[in-house]
Structure 1
Amino acid sequence: MLENARKYERDGLKQIPEGQKPSFHVCAPVGWINDPNGFSVYKGEYHLFYQYHPYKTVWGPMHWGHSKSKDFIKWEQLPCALAPDTGYDGQGCFSGSAVEHDGKHMLMYTGVLNKVQEDGTRLLRQTQCIAVGDGVNYEKLDTNPVITGDFLPEGSSREDFRDPKIWIEGEDFYAVIGSRSEETGGQIVLFTSQDAKNWKYAGIIEESRNEYGEVWECPDFFYIDGKQVLLISPTEMMADGLEFHNGNSTIYILGDYDKGNHKLIRERVAAIDYGLDFYAPQTLETADGRRIMVAWMQSWDNYLTPPSFQWSGLMTVPRELHVKNGLLYQNPVRELENYYQKEVKYDAVTINGEKEPDGIKGRQFDLTVEVEARDYEEFAVRFAADDKYYSILRYNPKANTVTFDRTYSGLRKDILHKRSINVKEQKGKIKLRILMDKYTVEVFVNDGEQAMTSLIYTPLEADRIRFLSKGEVKCSIVKYDVAAE
């Protein structure tokens, strides 16, 4: 199965029209990708795997696709790494993670068994498995699965038990895994091992308490800037104001970690990203100590891929994380600046109505607008625009909201087009950074205090950028073209 997938991948890559894909975002080679997996450092390079169905542009039996980079921006496509080809993972190699150990690259993933038994009943089990390799080729352990549902406490689901995040601390291996409790909903369980083959259940580090979704997927757990952070992707969320939206969402829980009792002491629960297309974030730590996050840039409930495309799915730009003032900040990795071209800068621009400054256009750019504090009704940036199409980012200083709207981006489906977030009150002052790579729209508010990630598939010829206001606005504008092709 793996060799079949690799051959299909090689042949399919030749069929993708040149210039169709974004240049500095990881995309599906061919077929479908979703959750990032195995985001890790191996032999000084950054490896990113992802859930992968090479044969169609929709979800199917999960493989692991594979890319690598030296700088998070320019990515090299590597052959498919895992295929569902054993009894314990025959219906899918689901999400997981990776570490470097003893010169080898160790992948930990969820194997899915889903079959009809002789008595007609269906057996569904999700277990945790290990594969070890050299950065290209990987062998599954003969002792797989290394963790089964039998390790879990009473009342925990054996069917929803997935997405291990493995790390090494001292001489020991640790893994947090997403799960579901019959009583409390989503939960994150912790396991420990001395050899990555023999594991012990350690405890439940955090749980939903029936507040945040039904199943907690894709956990990540790390210490940064004096705080412990848990990233999770809950399913079946209920909307809560503008903080959380319905369906599959993403949450960070900030606090202190009681390591002796394996409990996260919760201080803050908030959304990781407020856009329309963001799920399943995963992080790594660089050699210089930075915590870098990447996520799947798509929503399960809003399928946007144009029917002419032979690939579906892409990842966000990798982002540097920090904790400041009790909040999780995120901004594009600094390596992006190495790909800047053609700076265009305007200081103290006055806008009262509409303005389209010379040199401000394109579909692959990094644009920052800083608006001064003053009295006005609305400020907006309209981009990916021509006489027919556009998407727009609006700031309402009275309501303290930022809204992304892709209603007129060219989509022909009755799906979600608009989302708003609450931002801090600054008497009309705001800083908006918009990063675009053809179809990707990543917005960072007030130096990364909040982020909004969304997709558009507007024709690439629509590349105008306009600034609009209701009332007089004074702002500064800095824009760079970005290209890594």
Structure 2
Amino acid sequence: MTKKTSMERYRPALHFSADKHWINDPNGLVFYKGEYHLFYQYHPHSTIWGPMHWGHAISKNLVTWEELPIALYPDELGAIFSGSAVVDWNNTSGLQTGEEAVMVAIFTHHGEDNEKQSIAYSNDRGRTWVKYEGNPVVSNPDLKDFRDPKVFWHEETSKWIMSLACGDHIRFYRSHNLKDWEYLSSFGEKYGNHGGVWECPDLINLEVEGEQLKKWVLIVSVNPGGPNDGSAIQYFTGDFDGRMFVTDQCESEEKWADWGRDFYAAVTWSGTEQPIWIGWMNNWQYANQTPTAEFRGSMSIPRSLSLENKEGVHTLIQTPILSDEMRSNTIFDRQNGSFESLTVKVPEQPFMVELKLNNLSSFDILLKGEGGNLRVEFDGASQEVRVDRTKSGLVEFSEHFASVDAMPLKSFQDALLLVDKASVELFVNGGRSVMTESFYPTGSINTLEFKSSLNEPVEYKQIGVQSFSL
């Protein structure tokens, strides 16, 4: 949520959006002295993608955001494409000038001739930035796509590690000072999905739930090639020794972080105890055409990350970050019953639906109103969940938007549904299966309907609906 006075119809209440103009990828996510920094790809002069800057916002709770002045502007080396930021606690870069620890941003300079990696630094808690006079710090090795550096400190080797997206693979580099970089290895030419260009990598070390160990996870965005068309995020689990990433997956295996159409370029915050990430809530198939006026683009809800190991298969778990204070207004709460059809009147978005069943039944959740009808279908026979937005309101602004998107689902324990002005985020089985979708109703959504699709009772343990106090 952002503090704004705008009453624009599709302005999210629960998610970050810039006050005006275009945004896409989250960049430079870093936590320092109680502040979560969110930088992002930003075009300050249009609601259409253009020369990229780094916009900037901060939050103390990942819910309420304060926009700050633009952090990085294009220059003679090119536009400011995606990247990351770290706190250089030990001043390995030698760029610290005062008492505050120096923050270093690592980003892609996108010029007409090539892409290369550069750095900038801040000695005032990220408020002002100076570009390093020795830029670029990593020159282009004659690759068309060479971008989106994600950097972290690797304790075991006492080095900074950089992951770079290089078209159809990821390259790894290391440095002792964030200025001088050495190539290490590459991964991915024969693994995973190659339906589009690889972008926005992130190499993170995650705890495996219920086990006293961690596992390395390599995040890779791909555009297009997603499971329901367009842009999406895949991930690989494996091991990293400070030089090479080796996956435990077979070459053809695809793991998707989010099966929806609108979750892309997600990366994690640097400096947090629990890994937390956030993604751009849009799809490159129609991102420039979505029917908003003053702004275009928003971020997902921030999500904490962990892993589950089930019979040797490691699955990413995403948990939306929602404080108890936010969800204090209960609209509907019913325990241990059944429905063939159940209707709940809901207030203006945002609101949240929690559902617990005994098994995977066949039923629909309908978000209904005078402005459209969004359907979330749970199909026990085909073992999948689908989001149908063909009648959800405005759909004709792009030939790619009206869709029925599917996610495989072998079993069902619970579901959490977050509904905002123009989006729905679905977390099934504790966040083991996730879908994020945008939609644009032409009027209010005021009714929530649970309906059996087989005309037989659906047994539930709990149905709860809560609105948010923001």
Match of 2:359 among 373, 378, 403: 373
* Code of the aligned partner of 1:447: G
- SS class of match (1:339): coil
Q: Which residue is equivalent to 2:93?
A: none
Match of 1:55 among 45, 56, 59: 45
Cα 1:419–1:266, aligned 2, differ >3 Å: closer, same or farther?
same
Q: Which residue is equivalent to 2:247?
A: 265
Match of 2:387 among 404, 408, 419: 404
Is 1:324 the counterpart of 2:322? The answer is no
Q: Which residue is equivalent to 1:432?
A: 415
Cα 1:14–1:401, aligned 2, differ >3 Å: closer, same or farther?
closer
State the shift of 1:149 in Å: 1.4
Match of 2:376 among 384, 388, 393: 393
Cα 1:452–1:111, aligned 2, differ >3 Å: closer, same or farther?
same
State the shift of 1:278 in Å: 1.3
> What aligned pairs does 1:112-261 form with structure 2 within 5 A after superposition?
112-114=110-112, 124-133=113-122, 134=124, 135-150=126-141, 157-170=142-155, 171-180=158-167, 186-209=168-191, 211-225=193-207, 226-237=214-225, 244-259=227-242, 261=243
State the shift of 1:158 in Å: 2.3
Is 1:302 the counterpart of 2:286? The answer is yes
Checking the alignment, whether the CA contact within 8 Å between 2:306 and 2:317 is kept in structure 1 is yes
State the shift of 1:418 in Å: 1.6
Is 1:336 the counterpart of 2:311? The answer is no
C-alpha separation in 1, matches of 2:177 and 2:24: 30
* Code of the aligned partner of 1:386: G
* Code of the aligned partner of 2:138: I
Match of 1:418 among 400, 404, 416: 404
Is 1:468 the counterpart of 2:451? The answer is yes
- SS class of match (1:142): coil
State the shift of 1:208 in Å: 4.0
Q: Which residue is equivalent to 2:29?
A: 39
Checking the alignment, whether the CA contact within 8 Å between 1:16 and 1:310 is kept in structure 2 is no
Q: Which residue is equivalent to 1:121?
A: none
C-alpha separation in 1, matches of 2:164 and 2:86: 15
Checking the alignment, whether the CA contact within 8 Å between 1:438 and 1:460 is kept in structure 2 is no
CA offset digits 1:158-193 (Å, max 9, x no partner): 22000000112344222111003xxxxx11111111
Q: Which residue is equivalent to 2:267?
A: 282
State the shift of 1:99 in Å: 0.5
C-alpha separation in 2, matches of 1:391 and 1:19: 17
- SS class of match (2:26): strand
State the shift of 1:373 in Å: 2.9
C-alpha separation in 2, matches of 1:314 and 1:458: 17
State the shift of 1:284 in Å: 2.0
State the shift of 1:198 in Å: 1.2
Is 1:80 the counterpart of 2:70? The answer is yes
Q: Which residue is equivalent to 1:5?
A: none
State the shift of 1:55 in Å: 1.1
Cα 1:329–1:308, aligned 2, differ >3 Å: closer, same or farther?
closer
Cα 1:419–1:55, aligned 2, differ >3 Å: closer, same or farther?
same
Q: What is the aligned-residue RMSD (CA, Å)?
A: 2.2
CA offset digits 1:345-398 (Å, max 9, x no partner): 11123211x2213x5454211211112238x6x211111x21451101010111
Match of 1:448 among 419, 431, 447: 431
C-alpha separation in 2, matches of 1:466 and 1:278: 26
> Unmatched 5+ residue regions in structure 2?
90-100, 208-213
Q: Which residue is equivalent to 1:348?
A: 336
C-alpha separation in 2, matches of 1:177 and 1:100: 19
State the shift of 1:51 in Å: 0.5
Checking the alignment, whether the CA contact within 8 Å between 1:126 and 1:160 is kept in structure 2 is yes
C-alpha separation in 1, matches of 2:193 and 2:376: 31
Bigger shift: 39-48 or 360-369?
360-369
Cα 1:22–1:141, aligned 2, differ >3 Å: closer, same or farther?
same
Normalization by structure 1: what TM-score? 0.84
- SS class of match (1:336): coil
State the shift of 1:460 in Å: 5.3
Cα 1:351–1:302, aligned 2, differ >3 Å: closer, same or farther?
same
Checking the alignment, whether the CA contact within 8 Å between 1:371 and 1:474 is kept in structure 2 is yes
Normalization by structure 2: what TM-score? 0.87
Checking the alignment, whether the CA contact within 8 Å between 1:23 and 1:483 is kept in structure 2 is no
State the shift of 1:105 in Å: 1.6
- SS class of match (2:391): coil
State the shift of 1:281 in Å: 0.8
- SS class of match (2:325): helix
> What aligned pairs does 1:12-23 form with structure 2 within 5 A after superposition?
16-17=6-7, 21-23=11-13
- SS class of match (1:228): strand
State the shift of 1:200 in Å: 1.2
CA offset digits 1:88-116 (Å, max 9, x no partner): 12xx10000000124122111000111xx
CA offset digits 1:202-256 (Å, max 9, x no partner): 111443458523431100001111211000012342x6xxxx3434331010112
* Code of the aligned partner of 2:221: S
State the shift of 1:15 in Å: 8.7
Cα 1:408–1:304, aligned 2, differ >3 Å: closer, same or farther?
farther
Bigger shift: 100-109 or 318-327?
100-109
Q: Which residue is equivalent to 1:120?
A: none
Checking the alignment, whether the CA contact within 8 Å between 2:105 and 2:121 is kept in structure 1 is yes
CA offset digits 1:54-83 (Å, max 9, x no partner): 111110000111111111111111111111
State the shift of 1:336 in Å: 3.1
CA offset digits 1:441-471 (Å, max 9, x no partner): 1000111111000111214522211111122
Cα 1:40–1:388, aligned 2, differ >3 Å: closer, same or farther?
closer
Checking the alignment, whether the CA contact within 8 Å between 2:235 and 2:257 is kept in structure 1 is yes
Checking the alignment, whether the CA contact within 8 Å between 2:329 and 2:469 is kept in structure 1 is no
